[in-house]
Structure 1
Amino acid sequence: MAQSTIPLSALSAQWHSENGAPPPRRLIAADSTLRADVAYRLACEGTALLWHGDYPDALRLLSAMRRRAERRRSRSAPTTHDSPAEAFHRHRRERARLARVLGMLLVPLDADRRIRLDRAPDVRAACLAAYGPFLDSRILSLRELLGVIGAHQWRLKGVEVPALGARIHPHYGVFSPVRGEYVDLVARAPLPPAVHDHPLAHDLGTGTGVLAAVLAKRGLGPVLVTDTNPRALACAEDNARRLGLADRIRSAGTSLYPPGGDRAALVVCNPPWLPHRPSSALEHGVYDPGGRMLTGFLDGLAARLLPGGEGWLVLSDLAELLGLRTRADLLTAIAAAGLRVRGRLDTRPRHPRASRPNPADPLHGARARETTSLWRLAPA
């Protein structure tokens, strides 16, 4: 194939990236005549490939590029001499590089949300659910589009939550409650005395609304939910309607705490567990830069609790095992916020990444030793 550079000014489609990636500086038209080795080299050099072949060939090329990237990643994997923190940071750098390189294979999307490629699937419903309506053509990475398709399938199918006896349906860009052990902690922790007279609760950073639903099922309400991600608030409202709990769960906006200063008998927060910068919208459910959400929750808690109320902090010790935070750091932050620990419930992870040895996962050792805790906090 003759490779011709396409100036961005010549394109009539808008660049689209949910992760905020800038538009590529160089584009070449690509089809099935482009060899995978060449495609991978160009992507590593920062040249984007705007696909003009058929859709299945684009998937095959993306897989071939991934295999080449994985081979390079194995050569730069953490060594036995790395500390847990060094292994984590090396792992994150390689994941970011992998995302950047694979994100260079682009596909065109029409204003009616159809992929302009032969033998392409119908992605209109998935794109409408993720992006909403738009009136112009778009260019986006095939990798992102596959994420949109996969997220829509999760949304339609839902995730079974035993603590609810029902399914939760995650929306695009909202972290899915696939790790049920932390939900079980909230379902079985003893409720504080204040809920008997004042059953108002707050769920901060609600995500899908799964913890708010558990609290509502336990008789609390209204449960005011917040999240910095508007998609999460819409997702929580959708799940509340599906579960018949819309009258007990209310959206309270995108601030950490609900505005107005109302006190609650119970304030629950399951912040992202790792104090590190996220590289995508979905990773905001895992990474909390500098521990800002954790600190904000602790510092504001005492002033938001009714007498006899509690704050429940649901947090993994994975950051401690990786050397990103110490237990002393956490306890110091709790004390500095004028709080004391009234009790703690612990559980071990049940997900396959913790139980099945995986030599390719440099963080497996830490995952296998991980403990998730529900810290019952009260004013000192």
Structure 2
Amino acid sequence: MTTVSWTENDTQRTARWRSENAAPAPTGIVVITDDIAADKALRIARRGSSLLWRGDFQNARQLMRALDRRLEKRESRTPQASEPGEIFLANRKARAQRAAILGKILIPLEPDYTISLRRAPDTRAACAHAYGPPVDGPNAEHNNSAGEPNAAAGVETLVSLPELLGVISAYEWHRKGVEVAALGARIHPAHGVFTPTRDEYIDLVADAPWPQGLDHPVVWDIGTGTGVLAAVLVKRGAREVVATDISPRAVQCARENVERLGLADRVRVVEADLWPTGGQRADVVVCNPPWIPGRPTSALEQGIYDPGSDMLHRFLGELPDHLTPRGEGWLILSDLAEHLGLRTRDELVARIADAGLTIAGQHETTPRHPRAADSSDPLHAARALERTILWRLAVRTAPTA
């Protein structure tokens, strides 16, 4: 973990720098308190310095909101693009720039993850969930379950305020869980694992018919995340589900969820880059890849953005080698990228055909999330047309002579 230094009250200080989004460590730190004006704070941040907050915690949140309003106001004066794809890219760039400025507000964490600021919440459980437990003993350091070093005793850690608020929010999702109607139960996401709040794709998997003659199939869930689809597949009659994910956090999260649901005897969760090892084949292979071609900027965005559609293309290209003769691949994909001009339907269909696959059926639904009906959203025109589609893919057989 990187160490940063600054001068405070004529004393040289050091602390550890933590960023789950791999943001670079601050190169200049200015200590600020409650009396700073938002315009002055914005000028300091725009010059590249970070703002170490030593005042009231709730006032730090108010400062962040004030900076966000100013940045949003300036964005509104920028000429708007006209094409959906250009609007999307400009909007994403603007959000990234705003996030970079807001991320310069820093909060100090004590070695036990407490915040020694007035009106600060108790963040110990939330930080332990995201970062791993704090370490007892001077200068001790061990790795957490994600392979990252824990905080060492006696050393302050600096984190950005937006990240800390995200850690707190993620812990609340984890603690309370997300109700999944298709399960009749709650799924508990972990920090850094995509939360299944868009339930229309879950319903597609719950309702799609099994391939003919395969009433209790062996199913693989590729990129399982929280394990929600693996649980749904078992509930609806799969004989066995193997769920894979490349993220150790997702694997641990999925294991905890299937154990909590009492399904561990029929769901095996393994860490893998797409496919389970061992040479077996599956009757149904389900994959819900990231829906938008693009580069993620955080662990959470890995569930949304797929650079060059790499995961999608690999899944399609390698799927025939992993299906039983009567098996199907179920690809769950939003067509939002098509409406944004980032991918065409013809390109997707051509990829399916080039992989030696044929389309055995399609099931689609209209998204139900709030942004689909938000006319103030810059991408409203594209979102209003969006459909979530389950593509049923089978291996194309050679014609008989």
What TM-score, normalized by structure 2, do the two folds share?
0.90
Question: Which residue number in structure 2 is paired with residue 345 of structure 1?
Answer: 363
Q: Does 1:251 align with 2:241?
A: no
Q: Map Cα deviations across residues 314-345 of structure 1 (whole Å, 9 max, x no partner).
A: 00000000000000110111011111100000
Alpha-carbon displacement from aligned partner over 1:261-303 (angstroms, at most 9, x marks no partner): 2200010000010001111111111110100010111011000
Distance 2:32 2:302 in 1: 33
CA offsets, 1:184-217, max 9 Å, x none?
00000010136347x3211011111111111010
CA contact (8 A) 2:290 2:304 kept: yes
Q: Secondary structure at the match of 1:53?
A: coil
Q: Does 1:375 align with 2:377?
A: no
What is the root-mean-square deviation in Å for CA atoms of aligned residues?
1.6
Provide structure 2 residue ranges, at least 5 long, that are not aligned to the other structure.
134-149, 397-401
- Give CA deviations for 1:195-252 in whole Å, capped at 9, x if unaligned: 347x321101111111111101012142111112211111111111121111111112
The residue type equivalent to 2:302 in the other structure is: H
In the superposition, relative to structure 1, how do residues 214 and 300 fare at CA in structure 2: closer, same or farther (>3 Å)? same
Instruction: Find the aligned partners of 1:220 and 1:104 in 2 and give their Cα distance.
Output: 48
CA gap of 1:112–1:98, structure 2 versus 1, over 3 A, is same
Aligned residues: 371
Q: What's the counterpart of residue 308 of structure 1?
A: 326
1:99 equivalent in structure 2: 99
1:297 aligns with 2:315: yes
Partner of 1:142: 161
| 2: CA distance, partners of 1:189 / 1:83 | 35
Aligned to 1:333: 351
Q: 1:77: how far off?
A: 6.0
CA contact (8 A) 2:20 2:299 kept: yes
Question: Pick from 194, 198, 223: which aligns with 2:241?
Answer: 223
Which amino acid is the alignment partner of residue 160 of structure 2?
Answer: S
Q: Distance in 1 between matches of 2:190 and 2:213?
A: 34
1:183 alignment partner, one of 202, 207, 210 = 202
% same residue: 54
The answer to whether residue 257 in structure 2 is matched with residue 239 in structure 1 is yes
Structure 1: state its 5+ residue gaps.
none
> Alignment partner of 1:145: what SS?
helix
Q: Match of 2:212?
A: 193
Match for 2:363: what amino acid? L
1:356 pairs, out of 336, 349, 374, with: 374
For 2:239 and 2:301, locate their aligned partners in 1 and report how far apart those are by CA, in whole Å: 30
Q: Which residue matches 1:260? A: 278
Q: 2:183 pairs with 149, 164, 183, which one?
A: 164
How much does 1:260 deviate? 2.0
For the residue of structure 1 that corresponds to 2:293, the secondary structure is coil
Q: Which stretch of structure 1 is more off in the superposition, 337-346 or 51-60?
A: 51-60
Residue of structure 2 equivalent to 1:30: 32
Q: Tell me which residue corresponds to 2:51.
A: 49
What CA deviation, in whole Å up to 9, does each residue of 1:13-40 have, x standing for no partner? 2100000011011111111121110111
2-side partners of 1:371 and 1:17: how far apart? 35
Q: Residue 211 of structure 1 aligns to which amino acid in structure 2?
A: L
Give 2:343's aligned amino acid: R
8 Å contact kept, 2:366–2:388: yes
Residue identity in the other structure for 1:253: E
**1:195 and 1:266 in contact (8 A); partners too:** no
Instruction: Give, in whole Å, the separation in 2 of the partners of 1:169 and 1:245.
Output: 15
Provide, for residues 83-141 of structure 1, a one-character-per-residue CA deviation record: whole Å limited to 9, x for no partner.
11111110110010011000000011111111122221111010111111223231110
3-state SS in 2 of match to 1:193:
coil
Verify the 8 A CA contact 1:240 1:246 in the aligned structure 2.
yes
Match status 1:272 vs 2:290: yes
Q: Which residue of 2 aligns with 1:83?
A: 83
- What does residue 124 of structure 2 align with? 124
Q: Could you tell me how far apart the structure 2 residues matched to 1:307 and 1:301 are?
A: 12
The CA distance in 2 between the partners of 1:77 and 1:33, in whole Å, is 35
Cα distance in 2 between the residues matched to 1:7 and 1:94: 32
Query: 2-side partners of 1:75 and 1:25: how far apart?
Result: 31
CA contact (8 A) 1:123 1:149 kept: yes
- TM-score normalised by length of structure 1: 0.94
Shift of 1:10: 4.2
Distance 1:377 1:45 in 2: 53
1:74–1:195 CA distance, 2 compared to 1 (3 A): same
- Hey, which bits of structure 1, 4+ residues long, moved more than 2 A? 5-12, 76-79, 134-137, 193-197
> Is residue 112 from structure 1 mapped to residue 128 from structure 2 by the alignment?
no
Q: Distance in 2 between matches of 1:162 and 1:342?
A: 27
